[in-house]
Structure 1
Amino acid sequence: MDKLKALQAFVLIVERGSLTEAAEALDSSLSAMVRTLGALESQLGVRLLNRTTRRLSLTEDGRQYLERARHILAALDDADRSLGAQQAEPSGTLSVTAPVLFGQYHVAPSVTSFLQRYPRMRINLVLLDRVVNLVEEGLDVGVRIGPLEDSTVVARGVGRIRRVVVASPALLRRLGTPKHPRDLAKLPCLRFSATDGVHWVFREAGHAFTVGVQGQLECNLSAPMLEACAAGLGFGRFLSYQAAPWVAAKRLRIVLGDYEVEPWPVSLTYPSARLLPSRTKVFIEWMVGELKSSV
C-alpha cells in the first residue's frame, strides 16, 4: 500500500463525502478506493469511517487521524512549493573557485551574467593557481583544468584546452623557428612551474616523449611568464587560453603545433558526498552552458 496515496484518498473521501466522487476525482475506480480505505484501516487497526448505504461519517479515531493527515499533506505541499520556488528563483551564497587567468577570462564574466539573472544569489569567487580540495576548503563548485585524480568529486566536462609552445616574433627572428621539440634543448626556455618542470612532454606518431629544457626564469604564475616570453627572454609553454590574448595581439606565436600532447579537459567539479541544493544545481547548469560556448 502506498501510504501517501492512501492518506490523500482518505482526506478526499471525507471532503467529498462519497467514495464514488473521491474515486472520480483521483481518476480511480470505486473498488480500488474501497480497497485503499480498507487497507489503511487494517494497517491502523481502527475504523476511520462508518459506512452505510446513504452516508459516510467519521469515527472518533477518524476525526483525529483526519486532522493529522491534513497536516502531513499540507506540510508536503509546502515543501514542494518551497523547493519549486527556490528552483525558479535560487537564493543564497555559493563559493566558487577557478584558476586565475581562466577565471578572469571565462568564469568571472559568466558569474556576472548569472548574478544579473538571479539577483537573490551571492557568489564568493576564489581564483587560485593551485589544486584545491573543495570539501576541506568549504567550496561548493570548482573549475578544474587537467586530469582529475580526486575521487571525492563529481565532474561535468565543459571543454578541452591545448598546451602550446610560444615565443615572441623577435626571438624567432633571432634564433629561428624550431622544427622539432628536441631543438628546444639548445634554446632558452621559461619554465612555468604550475604545469611543467624541467621536462616538457610532447607527442609524435602516437607516442609521448620528453625534452629537457633550461632557461633563466621559472615562475608559478602565468602572467609574469607571458610578459617575459613576449619580451623575448625565451620559449614558453602555456595553456592555450593563457596565451590567446598575446597570440591575438601578435606579441607571441605558437610553434611546434604538430607535436602537442592531448588537450587537457576542463571540468566543473562539486563534492559527490553532498545532496546538492537547488541553487548549486541551477548555477552548475548555467556554467555548463556558458563555458561550453566559450571554451
Structure 2
Amino acid sequence: MDRLKAMQTFVQIADHGSLTGAARALDSSLPAVVRSLAALEAHLGVRLFHRTTRRNALTEEGRHYLQSARDVLAAADAADFALKAESRELAGQLTITAPVLFGHMYVAPAITRFMQRHDKVRCTVLLHDRKVDLLEEGVDVGIRISPLDDSSMVAQQLGTIRSLVVASPDFLRRNGEPRHPRDLAHAPCVRGRVDGPSQWTFHEGTRVHTVPVDGRLAFNHIAPAIEACAAGMGYGRFFSYQVLPHIAKGRLQIVLPDFESPSRPVSVIYPHARLMPARTRAFVDWMKQEFSGFAL
C-alpha cells in the first residue's frame, strides 16, 4: 500500500463527502478509491467512515486521523516544493477570489505586482461579497475577512481590520453623539446589506451588548450605504477600510470607539493538504509579504 496516496484518498473523501467525489477530484476510478480506503482502514485497524447511501461521515477515529493526514501531506508537499521551486519558472492559471471593495482597494494592486514579476502566469480574479466555496468553484486562493470555519481550508493571517460605527458630523450636531450602544436602539441606522443583521453587537471589556437597530434605508451594496451615512441619513456600521477615506476627509466620524468589537482577521485561504502548484504557493508567500503588518 502506498500510504501517502492512501492518505490523500482519505482526505479527498472527507473533503468531498463521498467516494465518487474523491474519485473525480483524484482523476481516479471509484473501485481504486474503494480499495485504497479499505487498505488504509485495514492497516490502521479502525473504521474511518460511517457509510450511508448518501454521504460518508467521519467516525471519531477518522476525525482524529484527518488532521494528522493533512499535516503529513502538507509536509510532503512542502519538501517537494523546497527542492523544485528554485529550478522551476512559475507558469499556469491562478484563480483568486476576494471581497469586492477590499479586493479593489488592496488585493488587486498586490496581484498586479505579482503578475508583473511572473509573465508566464495567467490570473483570473473573482470579486464577490459572498463566501466562495473554493473546492466547489475551482478557486485556488481566497482572501477572507472573517475567522475560518471550514476545516478543509488552511488560513494564514495577513492582518486585521476593525468594525466601526460612523455618522456624519452634521447628523451628530443635529442629534447629539451617542454615549452608549443602547442609544442606537431608537436611532436611524443605515444598513449596508438588505439581508444584513437587524442588531449590532458591541463589547465593553468582557461584557457584550447586543442592540436592535432599524432605519428607513438598507442597501445591497456597501458604497451607497456609506454615501447615505455621509449625507446624514443615520448611523452605519462598516469595516474600517471601507470608511477610512471618508473619515480622513471629514465626511464621517467614528462613534462609540470604546465599545468596538474585536478586530477581524484578514486571511489568505486555500484548500488543505492538496498538492499545491508552485505558482499558488508563491502567490500565498507574496501576499504574506505584501500585507506584512497590515492593520486598519
What is the TM-score of this pair, normalised by structure 1? 0.69
- Asked whether 1:284 is paired with 2:287, we answer no
Any unmatched runs of 5+ in structure 2? 1-80
Aligned partner letter, 1:247: I
- Aligned residues of 2:203 and 2:259 also touching (Cα < 8 A): yes
- The structural deviation recorded for 1:84 is 3.4
Cα displacement string for residues 42-93 of structure 1 (whole angstroms, at most 9, x for unaligned residues): xxxxxxxxxxxxxxxxxxxxxxxxxxxxxxxxxxxxx99975332xx31111
Identity %: 50
Cα displacement string for residues 245-295 of structure 1 (whole angstroms, at most 9, x for unaligned residues): 111111111110100111111110001141111110100000111122444
- Aligned residues of 1:97 and 1:142 also touching (Cα < 8 A): yes
SS at match of 1:275: coil
Residue 270 of structure 2 is matched in structure 1 by 270
- The structural deviation recorded for 1:193 is 2.9
Aligned pairs for 1:237-252 (under 5 A) are 237-252=237-252
Aligned pairs for 1:1-295 (under 5 A) are 83-86=85-88, 89-193=89-193, 196-295=196-295
- Aligned residues of 1:203 and 1:260 also touching (Cα < 8 A): yes
* Distance (whole Å) between structure 1 residues aligned to residue 235 and residue 85 of structure 2: 54
- Aligned residues of 1:129 and 1:194 also touching (Cα < 8 A): no
SS at match of 1:135: helix
- The structural deviation recorded for 1:122 is 1.6
Larger Rg: 1
What is the TM-score of this pair, normalised by structure 2? 0.69
Aligned partner letter, 2:160: R
SS at match of 2:228: helix
Q: What is the root-mean-square deviation of aligned Cα atoms in Å? A: 1.9
Cα displacement string for residues 112-150 of structure 1 (whole angstroms, at most 9, x for unaligned residues): 111111111121111110111000011000001012111
* Distance (whole Å) between structure 2 residues aligned to residue 188 and residue 82 of structure 1: 59
Aligned partner letter, 1:94: L
When the two structures are aligned, how many residues end up with a matched partner?
215
Any unmatched runs of 5+ in structure 1? 1-78
